[in-house]
Structure 1
Amino acid sequence: MPLLARTITTPLAVEVHAGALSHLGTLLADRRISAGGEVAVVVGPGVGKAAAERLRDGLSRAEIITITAGRHSDALELADKLRSRNFDAVVGIGGGRVIDTVKYASFRQGLPMVSVATSLANDGIASPVASLDRDGHSISYGAHIPIAVIVDLDFVRQAPIRQLRSGVGDALSNLSATADWQLSHDVTGEPIDGLAMALSRSSAEAVLRHPGELTDDDFLTSLADALILGGTAMAVAGTSLPCSGACHEIAHAVQENHPDAATHGEQVGVGALFATHLRGDSRMFEAMAATMKRHALPRTPGDIGLSVDEFTAAVAYAPRTRPGRYTILEHLNLDGSALRARITDFVDDLN
């Protein structure tokens, strides 16, 4: 009987625990990523720089590069710097903006990239996507999935609590994204990948149901696992659909029109909760709302500094941020007054 299988791209190594950074040199050698430590260690101006200093003894041949991060031009500038030496790999240490900048720069240079996350604000720590600002817009660029992912809980605990809440919002949004993907499959025939769906949905459910507090190591491990599996789900599917639906359309619309309103994870969390309300999925809506409340996440437009009218305008604009996507927003296709009424009901149900 023939055995049919597929090959999927995943990180060679994943380490999530306190003190994980101290194992980086060993991991690079054992996984044949860099036997001699000829790597570029790229950091932002924040905690990543302090983390890189810990590596000097174990990776004496590494070159530490400090960058500004988050813009497409930053990634191109870093790509130019990476041409200066024959590096075996690039190690990005920091939060989401640093990781995405390093991810895209290393992809441009054809170099493997090791992601060392010092915060858990979004699933970019392990995804094949780099979100970078260009001409006033946040644009998602395709890239290789990191060859290894390290999450050192010692550093994660030092991150602002808001970043952890953002990560929870990003993880929970996968429950809405997978529902949108299923809807698109049912209505338009959009191809669906069951393995990617399972990875994204089950990891988000683990965060949804976890009883721990936001700063407990066990909860942080589950959150890191969820964000890593979300990134892996995108690599499996070859698309961001398992992690990006109406929730991200809304977030991108809010970001474009109110750039200081909230973090990305907070925006997608509110977007996911509203999209779930639109679907009429009361069980999931109540579970998500309860988890978000317990971890003190924003849940309503007012919680992220927007009026009902401002949020209505953002949601109306949202489908334009991802043309071709079919989500609950495109499915219902509500006009302005109907949309405002649904948002008002959504806010009332949370109060």
Structure 2
Amino acid sequence: MAVLSRLIQAPAAVRIGSGVASELPTVLADQRISVSGKLALAVSEGSGVRLRQRLSADLPGDVGWFTVSRASLDAAVDLADQIRGAGAGYDTLVAVGGGKVIDAAKYAAARLGLPLVAVATNLAHDGICSPVATLQNDAGTGSYGVPSPIGVLVDLDLVREAPARFVRSGIGEALSNLSALADWELSHRETGEQVDGLAAAMARTAAEAVLRQPGTIADEGFLAVLADALVLSGQAMTVCGTSRPSSGACHEISHAIDQLYPRLSTQHGEQCGVGATFATHLRGDAERAADMARVLTHHELPVTPGDLGLGIDQFVEAVAYAPRTRPGRYTILEHLDLSPDEIHDAVKDYVATYAR
């Protein structure tokens, strides 16, 4: 009997735990990621200075340090130009920081044809291990397909030093997989879109682990599970070559909020958590929505539009605009195709159900 299988791109090394940033030279050498030892390291302009001081002693001397100012297309192109212009023959790009640095470095690495190693210092979203770079551009925010990192290190000591809000944001991001998967299955039923069962299983496992895990972000065990979940979510996207396992109406709503209210100081994962719970409520899955709202509340995350700093009418506008952010994607929003008045009624019902 013939045995059929497929090749799956995956990181050569994944390390999650306290102090693993110090293992970076060993990982690079053992996995033959950097043969020459000539590394370009990208860090943020702020906390990156302290990270450079902490990591320099463990790294080889032939290292070039570069700063990333923001998660924008221009900043990513500028990073690539700086590295190329240095003319040092770097064979690996290492991004040390949060989503801003890692997303810009993923795009820069793709332009340079270099492997990328991501050293995550917070758990704000699943870009740690995904084949997508989310970057600001002249039209708002765009998602760009890039090779996923060849190595991933999540140092829980550094994560604990990050602002708590950045860590909690990752919880909303992970939970939103549940809504995204429901949208994917809905699209399969209604439009015939194919669902990749392996990618769906990985994304669901990640979300359920966070949903069921006791404790808080103060517990190392919980942080390890959250880090596992975000890495697994990113890998699910790599498996199927699309963000579908982790992005549905939840992310459409988040992107709409970003475009309509750019001055709102909320995290992507916070918006996705609210968007996912609202979308689940729209589907009539009261038990699942209640579970998600309970976990968001437990971790002090937003649950309602008001918790995000949005009025009901503003959130209604975002929900109405959301399908325009991902043309061609079929979710509960496209399926129901609600009028503004119907969306208003649904949002009011949602708020009445879940307001604290």
- TM class by shorter chain equals over 0.9
Q: Does 1:70 align with 2:68?
A: no
SS of match in other structure, 2:56: coil
1:326 to 324, 330, 354: 330
The equivalent of 2:91 in structure 1 is 88
Q: Does 1:236 align with 2:230?
A: no
Q: Deviations over 1:194-233 (max 9, x none)?
A: 0000000111100000011122110001111111111100
Q: Does 1:156 align with 2:159?
A: yes
Range that drifts further, 19-28 or 50-59: 50-59
Q: Deviations over 1:214-259 (max 9, x none)?
A: 2211000111111111110000011000010000000000011112
- Give TM-score, length-normalised by structure 1: 0.98
Once the two structures are TM-superposed, the CA of residue 266 in structure 1 deviates from its matched residue by 0.6
Given that 2:68 and 2:104 are in contact with CA atoms closer than 8 Å, whether structure 1 keeps it comes out as: no
Return the letter of the residue paired with 1:79. Answer: A
SS of match in other structure, 1:15: strand
TM alignment of 1:194-205, pairs within 5 A: 194-205=197-208
Give ranges in structure 1 of 5+ residues lacking alignment: none
Structure 1: which 4+ aligned runs deviate by more than 3 Å? none
Return the letter of the residue paired with 1:248. Answer: H
Return the letter of the residue paired with 1:92. Answer: A
The equivalent of 1:291 in structure 2 is 295
TM alignment of 1:186-201, pairs within 5 A: 186-201=189-204
The equivalent of 1:98 in structure 2 is 101
Cα distance in 2, alignment partners of residues 332 and 184 from structure 1: 12
Return the letter of the residue paired with 1:142. Answer: G
Cα distance in 2, alignment partners of residues 272 and 317 from structure 1: 16
Given that 1:117 and 1:152 are in contact with CA atoms closer than 8 Å, whether structure 2 keeps it comes out as: yes
SS of match in other structure, 1:65: strand
Cα distance in 2, alignment partners of residues 128 and 49 from structure 1: 27
Range that drifts further, 51-60 or 91-100: 51-60
Given that 1:44 and 1:94 are in contact with CA atoms closer than 8 Å, whether structure 2 keeps it comes out as: yes
Cα distance in 2, alignment partners of residues 12 and 46 from structure 1: 29
Return the letter of the residue paired with 2:13. Answer: A
SS of match in other structure, 1:164: helix
Q: Does 1:265 align with 2:266?
A: no
Cα distance in 2, alignment partners of residues 212 and 94 from structure 1: 25
Return the letter of the residue paired with 1:38. Answer: K
Range that drifts further, 55-64 or 156-165: 55-64
SS of match in other structure, 1:157: helix
Q: Percent identity?
A: 53
Return the letter of the residue paired with 1:61. Answer: D
Return the letter of the residue paired with 1:16. Answer: I
Q: Does 1:59 align with 2:64?
A: no
Given that 1:29 and 1:36 are in contact with CA atoms closer than 8 Å, whether structure 2 keeps it comes out as: no
Cα distance in 1, alignment partners of residues 5 and 83 from structure 2: 37
Q: Does 1:145 align with 2:112?
A: no
Cα distance in 2, alignment partners of residues 133 and 56 from structure 1: 30
TM alignment of 1:26-45, pairs within 5 A: 26-45=26-45
The alignment of Structure 1 onto Structure 2 pairs a total of residues equal to 351
Once the two structures are TM-superposed, the CA of residue 53 in structure 1 deviates from its matched residue by 2.4
Q: Does 1:281 align with 2:285?
A: yes
Once the two structures are TM-superposed, the CA of residue 136 in structure 1 deviates from its matched residue by 4.5
Once the two structures are TM-superposed, the CA of residue 67 in structure 1 deviates from its matched residue by 2.5
Cα distance in 2, alignment partners of residues 229 and 338 from structure 1: 36
Once the two structures are TM-superposed, the CA of residue 48 in structure 1 deviates from its matched residue by 3.0
Given that 1:40 and 1:91 are in contact with CA atoms closer than 8 Å, whether structure 2 keeps it comes out as: yes
Range that drifts further, 40-49 or 96-105: 40-49
Return the letter of the residue paired with 1:172. Answer: L
Return the letter of the residue paired with 1:62. Answer: V
Cα distance in 2, alignment partners of residues 62 and 69 from structure 1: 22
Q: Deviations over 1:66-112 (max 9, x none)?
A: 22121101111111122122111100001101100001000111100
Given that 1:247 and 1:275 are in contact with CA atoms closer than 8 Å, whether structure 2 keeps it comes out as: yes
Return the letter of the residue paired with 1:13. Answer: A
CA RMSD of aligned residues (A): 1.0
Q: Does 1:128 align with 2:131?
A: yes
Once the two structures are TM-superposed, the CA of residue 166 in structure 1 deviates from its matched residue by 0.7
